[in-house]
Amino acid sequence: MFEIVNKVRLNPGVTMMDIYAPPVARKAQAGQFIILRAEADGERIPLTVAGCDPQRGTVKIIFQIAGGTTLRLDNKNAGDCLPDFVGPLGCPTETDGIKKACVAGGGVGCAIALPVARKLASCGAQVDSVTGFRNKDAVILEREFSACSKKLFVMTDDGSYGKKGLVTAPIKEELESGTRYDRIFAIGPLVMMKAVVETARPYGIPVTVSMNPIMIDGTGMCGGCRLTVGGKTRFACVDGPDFDGYEVDFDEAAARLSAYRDFELAEREKCCNLFKKEIYR
């Protein structure tokens, strides 16, 4: 069993937990993920490693409450245990040789982007970070990004915090001013990653995107994370999650991702009703 040693609510829909899992904590690297189950008879879900403390033996996960399983996970507290917590899985993010990088995170994707920014900074690279959210209430991890970034741009859709606009706005301004990045890392909703790729395209800046959002079981067996990269079929969980953004067919990936939306909403509603019955029993 894997104990939840800490739980923090980052915003109304996003939760951070530290899980005691020493073997995973010793080996996990930026970009990799784990598979967990909130309950012994529950479904398996992949979550990206948001950080590790090998000395304490803990692994940090950050998740958005989206469906039944994440709701069940969110209802657990420090001291509770998870029956399964397996990893690290997937390929680590490649950062070798990068001296100057831009890391862009959108929404809960910032949880995946932060370890990448930290890894780059620890290797001596100059890091500019851009984070984007719907509004002020959705902002997470600002202090953590600031600590590992030379420049940090916080964007909100409605302008209630930071600057109003999309994450592509400061990236475009930097590129237009002559800033030359060795690579841009974009992690977040598919539409956001596609927009970052198109922003960088005229300047020939390499872009790495994380296709974590389309993963389901994390082993390649379900086929749900199948995508087309450079005209070839790849699986986000076993071949990625990172890919060359210029080669990803984002439209195909978005269509596949939307196929599970109604199911997730139904499972969340079912789970909500279950917890209500337990509370008022």
3-state secondary structure 139-163: CCCHHHHHHHCCEEEEEECCCCCCE
Instruction: Spell out, as residue ranges, where the chain has pLDDT lower than 50.
Output: 275-281
Give how far Cα 157 sits from Cα of 15, 93, 103, 171, 235, Å: 21, 28, 19, 16, 32
Q: What is the pLDDT of residue 222?
A: 63
- Name the residue ranges covered by the structural domains of the chain: 2-89, 100-258
Query: What is the spatial distance between Cα 74 and Cα 77, in angstroms, rounded to a whole number?
Result: 8
pLDDT of residue 278: 47
For residues 187 and 166, the answer to whether their CB atoms sit within 8 Å is no
**Of the options 2.40.30.260, 1.10.150.120, 3.40.50.80, 3.40.1370.10, the CATH number for the domain spanning 100-258:** 3.40.50.80
Percent of the chain with pLDDT over 90: 66
CATH of 2-89, one of 2.60.40.10, 2.40.30.10, 1.10.760.10, 3.30.70.930: 2.40.30.10
Model pLDDT, residue 281: 44
Q: What is the DSSP letter of 44?
A: -
Q: DSSP secondary-structure letter at 92?
A: P
With a CB cutoff of 8 Å and minimum separation 6, the contacts of 9 are 15, 16
Say what the pLDDT of residue 280 is.
38
pLDDT at 115: 94
Q: Which residue type is seen at 262?
A: D
pLDDT of residue 233: 84
Taking the whole predicted model, whether its pTM rises above 0.75 is answered as: yes
Q: What is the pLDDT of residue 70?
A: 87
